[in-house]
Amino acid sequence: MKGDRLTRINTLLQHELAEAMFRVINEPGFEPSAVTITRVETSSNLRNARVHVSIRAEAHAQRAMLRLLMQHRGDLQAIIGRNVTMKYTPHLTIVLDDSLEEGDRILHLIEDIEHAHPEWTDEEDHVEG
């Protein structure tokens, strides 16, 4: 039961933070459409939440946008405090999640292997043109 509650809280925080991010951070160099909150992990005592973000941009732009997110952490936390009724407003820690980029890299490697070795793919998957 406790796990279900944390899952619901994590999902709620993820949605609230995604909406708040668009409203709060209006600075040059920040592209909200490039930022995805991939998951939120709230501690069992609800006092801390780790916010995993994926940023679709070059490395220097990623660092700049992550820095802006961290600078506005207090504003995002305040919005959570106002919009979500909880005993405690969790302290947010924002971390870069590179799992989407890693997944893309692996898919490209698989495509490269399939093109280099068509004999390894199934006949029905192989489209001839």
Q: Give the model's pLDDT for residue 98.
A: 80
CB 94 within 8 A of CB 73: yes
What's the predicted TM-score (pTM) here?
A: 0.76
91 lies in the same domain as 114: no
Q: How far is CA 43 from the centre of its chain?
A: 18
- For 24-36, what is the mean pLDDT? 86
Same domain, 37 and 49: yes
Q: What is the CATH number of the domain that holds 53?
A: 3.30.300.20
Give 117-129 pLDDT, tens digit per residue.
888 776 555 455 5
If pLDDT is split at 50, 70 and 90, which confidence band does 40 have?
A: very high
Provide the domain limits for residue 108: 99-129
Q: Within 13 Å of residue 117, how many CA atoms lie on the same side as its CB?
A: 5
* 63 and 125 inside one domain: no
> Looking at the 3D structure of the chain, how many domains does it have?
2
Which has more pLDDT, 125 or 83? 83
Residue 74: phi, psi to the nearest 5?
Answer: -60, -40
